[in-house]
Structure 1
Amino acid sequence: MKNLLTDIAGVRVGHAENAKVGSGTTAIIFDSPAIAAIDVRGGGPGTREGSLLDLASTQERVDAIALSGGSAFGIEAGGGVQAWLAEQGRGLNIRGAVIPLVPGAIMFDLLNGGDKNWGRFAPYRDLGYEAAVAAGHDYAEGSVGAGLGATTATFKGGLGSASAVLDNGIKVAAIMVVNAVGSVTVGEGPWFWAAPFEENGEFGGHGLPPKFTPDMLAMRIKGGPAAAARENTTIGAVVTDAALTKPQAKRLAMIAHTGFARAIYPVHAPTDGDVLFAAATGEKSIEPLVGLTELGTVAANVVARAIARGVYSATALPFPGAQPAWKDRFGA
């Protein structure tokens, strides 16, 4: 176990970034189509193929998931991932027509200091293609891929991962892009709200403060009271090797979304676009009631850990006035 999404067999992850723009894309590639669902709880989401994952829709499996910066421009990243899959002959076959299915979600990183004057077309389709080409079993965390331009209310945001194994051998893992309107740290840190779920000092081992003060519990939001809509979002995916139906994957996404609330304060705000995908590769059977509940419980913990790791692993962008990283203040 590497504490990565790729601890789930048949899953690969790749990043692509544009340092000048200060933004990037992450591709999650399934070696075989995976059952997938989505749960949206933020007030300003941006998604691609979200309706495909609705329980009323016929199609159950997807070939990949695209996560991207760029706000609405970043939705094109899914087209780049789709283009790479098409080159591999991957996709839904309809009487000889092959159509790769790539849902996606985007987050707002247009005000982080990068040069967004990219001309007629945004770079995200090309970044999506590059991320798919780069997909493998090892990948970096922090200010990489879709997490390159991420920020939070207090420290630089980023991309984080975590994984776990249940007692029955079923695995679950998460990858999260943390660009929240709220804070991932208690007050000004160094403590993370997700501290009760930390394993092996994966985000510093500071635990929780010995005492909570009113200042620690005060609301800290990005941009202050004048924060504009759609400037924030935490997006990601939780993947398991359990055999789930599409409704069960939806339930997993709903339970795992609890991890947002365990790691971000406040969360699911009108100016957030919080989106979580859930996917299942279908290798191991699971009891549909207690078993699924246990899987969701652990998945929520994994999501919370991945969110904390995204901020813990981040580095500041090299732009004037860029938001400092957690490690700039507290070290490793």
Structure 2
Amino acid sequence: MPDLLNLLTDIEGVSVGHATDLVLGSGVTAIVFDEPAVASGTVLGGAPGGRDTSLLDPSMTVSAVDAFVLSGGSAFGLDAAGGMQAGLRELGRGFAVGPVKIPIVPQAILMDLLNGGDKDWGLHSPYRDMGYAALKAAAKGAFALGTVGAGTGATTATFKGGLGSASAVSSAGHRVAAVVAVNALGSATIGAGPHFWAAPFEKDDEFGGLGMPDSTDHRMRLKGMSVPATTIGAVVTDAQLTKAEAHRLSLAGHDGLARALLPAHLPLDGDTVFAASTAKHRRDDMASLMELCHLATIVTARAIARGIYEATALPVEGAQKAWRDRYPNGG
């Protein structure tokens, strides 16, 4: 296997692509599977936005997906899945219904309409074309983090949000990784300082190596009391999972979200985590599943901190400052 990049693409058979528009202040991230992947997901925020998320329930018939899409644009961004479906249809991908193939592309969106970008797009939103572009850009190997793709216009209570990713390997050799677009009502950092709530899980100084502060400030910090937010992401493993087991993996991803953001899962958050298995490696025991859930929690928390750490401010007047703007020397 190739060396780990600490990214979602460490999972064999997974490609990631971005469409980024800094003037719009928004973007789309495509997560594409070489072959249909067993998938599920959970929504724990009170104000979610998504497409084809109901089919991810373990009781529903379709068990596998061709891709996931994460997008800005709030409800307008739901057009991105249509663009990705168009690209997948060109490739002959999709769930077969007689002679017809229907690409299965569950989507989650985040609210980034108030970040100062130019949202005067006219009659039709740009997200269908951006979804298509993100699919066409999807590739193996390294991909950008921070103010890119679905993380382009993301914000949090304290610093500019962004897109992060992280990966890990289980004791059985199974790989698990997360990608998250961090657009939280709450904060990924502790108090007014540079330290991250996810610090106990950090690996190789991936978000600054600052550790925990001498004391912690638990006071609630929100970017607003009436503006919807949403942190969205996906956890993927190469271990063989059933749809019900993938559902459990998505819940473990939410555990990581709650460890990296304070507060989380609020009435105006739409926090959504997808999960998928490429089934490249056999797994059939409970112990390995429990370890994968443990690691899903950790990689999701790390990905969230990396999304903030790697972000840069949007090039618009009044844009929220990034962590690196406030701490150019690393905190």
TM-score normalised over the length of structure 1: 0.96
1:173 & 1:64 partners in 2: Cα distance?
Answer: 15
Please state how far the C-alpha of 1:55 moved relative to its aligned partner. 1.6
* CA–CA distance in structure 1, aligned partners of residues 284 and 305 of structure 2: 30
Looking at structure 2, the residues matched to 286 and 234 of structure 1 have their Cα atoms a distance apart, in angstroms, of: 30
Which residue of structure 2 lines up, in the alignment, with residue 228 of structure 1? 226
Question: Which stretch of the first structure deviates more once superposed, 303-312 or 291-300?
Answer: 291-300
1:189 is displaced (CA, Å) by 2.1
Q: 1:317 aligns with which of 314, 319, 328?
A: 314
Pairwise CA distance, 1:283: 1.4
Question: Residues of 2 paired with 1:106 and 1:186: CA distance?
Answer: 26
Q: Distance in 1 between matches of 2:90 and 2:239?
A: 29
Match of 1:31 in 2: 34
Quote how far apart the aligned CAs of 1:228 are.
1.6
Residue 197 of structure 2 corresponds to which residue in structure 1? Answer: 193
What residue is the counterpart of 2:66 in the other structure? 63
Aligned to 2:219: 218
249-258 or 307-316, which moves further after superposition? Answer: 249-258
Q: In the alignment, what sits opposite 2:172?
A: 168
CA distance in 2, matches of 1:119, 1:66: 23
Residues 6-17 of structure 1 correspond to what in structure 2 (within 5 A)? Answer: 6-17=9-20
SS at match of 1:299: helix
Residue by residue over 1:204-262, the C-alpha shift from the partner in whole angstroms, topping out at 9 and shown as x without a partner, is 000000122xxx21100012xxx225x20000000000100000100111122100111
Question: Residue in 1 aligned with 2:132?
Answer: 129
Residue in 1 aligned with 2:278? Answer: 281
CA distance in 1, matches of 2:132, 2:270: 24
1:5 alignment counterpart? 8
Aligned residues: 325
* Amino acid in the other structure paired with 2:220: M
What is the TM-score of this pair, normalised by structure 2?
0.97
Partners in 1 of 2:322 and 2:177 — Cα distance?
25
Structure 1 distance, partners of 2:284, 2:88, is: 33
Q: In structure 2, what is the Cα distance between the partners aligned to 1:153 and 1:288?
A: 41
Q: Provide the rounded CA distance (Å) in 1 between the counterparts of 2:272 and 2:7.
A: 19
Contact 2:23 2:315 in 1 (8 A): no
Corresponding residue for residue 245 of structure 2: 248
Partners of 1:188 and 1:197 lie apart in 2 by: 20
The DSSP-based 3-state class of the residue aligned with 1:327 is helix
- Note the C-alpha offset of 1:52: 1.1
CA distance in 2, matches of 1:291, 1:119: 51
Aligned-pair distance for 1:290?
Answer: 2.0
Q: Show structure 1 runs of 4+ deviating over 4 A.
A: none
For the residues of structure 1 that align with 2:226 and 2:24, how far apart are their CA atoms?
A: 21
Deviates more, 1:135-144 or 1:285-294: 285-294
Offset of 1:20 from its aligned partner? 1.7
1 CA distance for matches of 2:193 and 2:182? Answer: 16
- Pairwise CA distance, 1:17: 1.6
Counterpart in 2 of 1:145?
A: 149
Aligned to 1:92: 95
Q: Matched residues in 2 for 1:327 and 1:96: separation?
A: 52
Q: Deviations over 1:152-186 (max 9, x none)?
A: 00000000000001111000000000000000000
Deviations 1:285-316 (A, max 9, x none): 22442221111001100000000000000000
Indicate the SS of the match to 1:258.
helix
Which residue of the partner structure matches residue 159 of structure 1?
A: 163
Structure 1 Cα separation of the partners of residues 306 and 15 of structure 2 = 19
The answer to whether the 8 A contact 2:178-2:233 is kept is: yes
Identical-residue share of aligned pairs (%): 58
Match of 1:180 in 2: 184
The offset of 1:78, in angstroms, is 0.6
Q: Which residue does the alignment assign to 2:44?
A: 41
**Alpha-carbon separation, structure 1, partners of 2:135 and 2:226:** 32
Q: Could you list the runs of 5+ residues in structure 1 that have no partner in the other structure? A: none
Which residue in the other structure is 2:287 paired with? Answer: 290
Amino acid in structure 1 at the alignment position of 2:205: G
| Matches of 1:154 and 1:205, distance apart in 2 | 19
**Amino acid of the structure 2 residue aligned with 1:254:** L
State the alpha-carbon separation in 1 of the partners of residues 160 and 326 from structure 2.
Answer: 11
Aligned to 1:208: 212
SS in 2 for 1:218: coil
